């Protein structure tokens, strides 16, 4: 079985828990998630099966959307509600100022990853070091906030908002940074991931719903093909004489391309097909003295 299932991860499960459950349900070992979602967070978690595990990086690299709740006046060790309280400060609940500060983070943003994160330093995850009582210096990372929209004011000290952001953005760190900029501190008190690229919460499945699909033998109805994941990429078809070279993962030259069926040449990653229409993998279009396509990811 090869493809992706759009899972709705509920609270209480780690991303690893989800993978283990899906291995049991699918009776398949090659299963991988596409980016850690904290146990207390919920929402979209695309999971790859079989050959689709080869393209995990393409899903991880997509933009994300979250619905978050910011609690002002309280800072914690983990930057969310699961941590120990470090400090309490009074909150001036000025909605216009809160809105202005939140939206000031739109654009490029230098963010220092939290200690309680899965980032590895010298082979050890930061959260493992944090649990040992250690704190190490973390270099800021460039992330991008595309939009922030406030959805609910929760007097006296909370606010809900939707944020569209680049990969690698920590929303609890964003909440903590907003609190510091307001002068009262803050932490993330709730998080729902509503989208990962084109994977939306509206067409996601809980583990219980998926188990029901398995029991009724409707598993295939929720499986998204690898080809569908790359549906917006240019498509290139080879001629019959180049089929064997393509299937062996060789570089494909212009003379082996079917110009009638193929998208116009672009120096981008493209979906490569045999002359009979079988999707073989991702290739990079290159133009030097001549045009050719070099394999990036073989999916056979």
Binning pLDDT at 50, 70 and 90, where does residue 140 land?
Answer: very high
Reduced to 3 states (helix: H, G, I; strand: E, B; else coil), residue 2 is coil
Same domain, 190 and 91: yes
d(CA 257, CA 274): 10
Tokens read off for 95: 């909605």
Same domain, 152 and 38: no
Q: What was the pLDDT predicted at 133?
A: 77
Same domain, 167 and 23: no
Same domain, 58 and 78: no
Task: State the residue for tokens 């939306």.
Answer: 200
Catalytic-residue membership of 38: yes
Q: Are 118 and 14 in contact (CB under 8 A)?
A: no
Binning pLDDT at 50, 70 and 90, where does residue 185 land?
Answer: very high
What's the mean pLDDT when you consider all of the chain?
A: 93
Same domain, 33 and 139: no
Binning pLDDT at 50, 70 and 90, where does residue 148 land?
Answer: very high
Same domain, 179 and 128: yes
> In terms of Cα–Cα distance, which of 112, 21, 4, 138 is closest to 60?
4
Higher pLDDT, 14 or 125: 14
Q: Which domain holds residue 240?
A: 230-298
Same domain, 242 and 254: yes
Q: Are 63 and 166 in contact (CB under 8 A)?
A: yes
Neighbouring C-alpha atoms within 13 Å toward the C-beta of 163 = 31
Q: What was the pLDDT predicted at 121?
A: 77
Same domain, 114 and 125: yes
Same domain, 202 and 56: yes
Binning pLDDT at 50, 70 and 90, where does residue 114 land?
Answer: confident
How many domains does the chain contain in total? Answer: 3
Same domain, 191 and 210: no
Same domain, 147 and 80: yes
pLDDT at 83 over 80: yes
The CATH number of the domain where 287 resides is what? 2.30.130.10
Q: Select which of 2, 17, 38, 258 is catalytic.
A: 38
CA distances from 158 to 16, 70, 100 (A): 31, 5, 15
d(CA 185, CA 208): 38
pLDDT tens, position by position, 204-243: 999 999 988 887 777 888 999 999 999 999 999 999 999 9
Out of 112-126, 136-150, 197-211, pick the least confident: 112-126
Q: What was the pLDDT predicted at 271?
A: 96
Same domain, 130 and 208: no
The CATH number of the domain where 39 resides is what? 3.30.2350.10
pLDDT tens, position by position, 30-81: 999 998 898 999 999 999 999 999 999 999 999 999 999 999 999 999 999 9
């Amino acid at each position: 079985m090869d493809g992706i299932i759009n899972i709705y991860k509920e609270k209480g499960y780690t991303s690893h828990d989800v993978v283990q459950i899906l291995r049991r349900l699918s009776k398949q070992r090659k299963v991988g998630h596409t980016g850690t979602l904290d146990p207390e967070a919920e929402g979209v978690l695309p999971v790859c099966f079989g050959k689709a595990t080869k393209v995990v990086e393409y899903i991880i690299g997509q933009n994300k959307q979250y619905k978050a709740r910011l609690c002002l006046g309280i800072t914690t060790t983990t930057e969310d509600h699961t941590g120990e309280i470090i400090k309490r400060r009074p909150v001036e609940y000025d909605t216009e100022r809160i809105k202005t500060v939140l939206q000031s983070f739109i654009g490029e943003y230098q963010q220092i990853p939290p200690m309680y994160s899965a980032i590895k330093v010298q082979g050890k995850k930061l959260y493992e070091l944090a649990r040992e009582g250690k704190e190490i210096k973390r270099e800021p990372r460039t992330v991008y906030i595309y939009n922030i929209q406030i959805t609910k004011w929760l007097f006296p000290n909370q606010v809900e908002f939707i944020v569209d952001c680049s990969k690698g953005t920590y929303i609890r760190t964003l909440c903590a940074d907003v609190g510091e900029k307001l002068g009262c501190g803050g932490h993330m008190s709730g998080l729902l991931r509503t989208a990962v690229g084109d994977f939306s919460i509206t067409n996601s499945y809980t583990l219980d719903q998926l188990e029901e699909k398995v029991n009724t033998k409707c598993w295939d109805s929720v499986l998204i093909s690898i080809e569908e994941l790359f549906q917006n990429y240019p498509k290139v078809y080879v001629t019959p004489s180049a089929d064997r070279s393509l299937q062996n993962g060789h570089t494909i030259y212009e003379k082996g391309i079917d110009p009638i069926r193929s998208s116009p040449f672009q120096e981008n990653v493209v979906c490569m097909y045999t002359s009979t229409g079988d999707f073989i993998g991702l290739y990079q279009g290159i133009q030097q003295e001549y045009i050719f396509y070099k394999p990036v990811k073989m999916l056979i």
